[in-house]
Chains A and B, each alone.
Chain A
Amino acid sequence: AQRVTQPEKLLSVFKGAPVELKCNYSYSGSPELFWYVQYSRQRLQLLLRHISRESIKGFTADLNKGETSFHLKKPFAQEEDSAMYYCALRGRGGFKTIFGAGTRLFVKA
């Protein structure tokens, strides 16, 4: 079964602390992995995708095929990082995108 699991509904950290949002997936084949973010009163938008191996707003995510994980990390959280984060996957060459239930990140001053 194709599935994306984000085990934490809510994650609260202090400003300047490291943050890791967990994402595990189940997929038979080669998936494309993404992180989307939704800031308060804004639209859902792409944060990063694994194929680009990029760092956006200080966030990085590494695809671990052995553990079937794609955790999102940032060494020093900022208050403006407070948002809803969704991990998503799509089969290579396919179009159906499967989203996790999301993790709300709250960065305290």
Chain B
Amino acid sequence: GAGVSQSPRYKVAKRGQDVALRCDPISGHVSLFWYQQALGQGPEFLTYFQNEAQLDKSGLPSDRFFAERPEGSVSTLKIQRTQQEDSAVYLCASSPIADSVNEQFFGPGTRLTVL
């Protein structure tokens, strides 16, 4: 079976551009997480969805960051007016049930470079 997929794998944007990053979780997984991983750091939590409901967006760094999961499957992370400090790998993870001890299955990530 296919794991979590993310697209694009690499994105180069000019400062000020808007970008959209896509995550396809494992089919049937209830929970979906987005993380931002800067170079040399661990993943940093951005937001969490349970089905289509965004239950925690406390990690979104500014109002330029927006995430959605309208039908409870595919999710999109949108960054408006990108800035150089947004350069990072963006990871998506999914989990089969809404449980704090459950394993998260990670995608390969999207590497965003803002020039």
Contact = CB atoms under 8 A, between A and B. Distances in A.
B41 A44 contact: no
A99 B56 contact: no
A4 to B, nearest CB: 8
Contact of B42 (A45, A91, A102): A102
B45 A46 contact: no
B80 interface: no
B58 A43 contact: no
A38 B107 CA distance: 12
Nearest to A91: B100
Given A97-B45, A101-B41, A43 B107 contact: yes
Interface in B71-115: 91, 93, 98, 100-101, 103-109
Contacts of B98: 95
Dominant SS among interface residues on chain B: loop
A32 interface: yes
B31 A45 contact: no
Interface of A: 4, 32, 43-46, 49, 51, 86, 88, 90-102
Interface of B: 3-4, 31, 33, 35, 40-45, 48, 50, 55-56, 58-59, 91, 93, 98, 100-101, 103-109
8 contacts: A43-B108, A46-B104, A49-B103, A90-B100, A95-B33, A95-B55, A96-B45, A97-B45
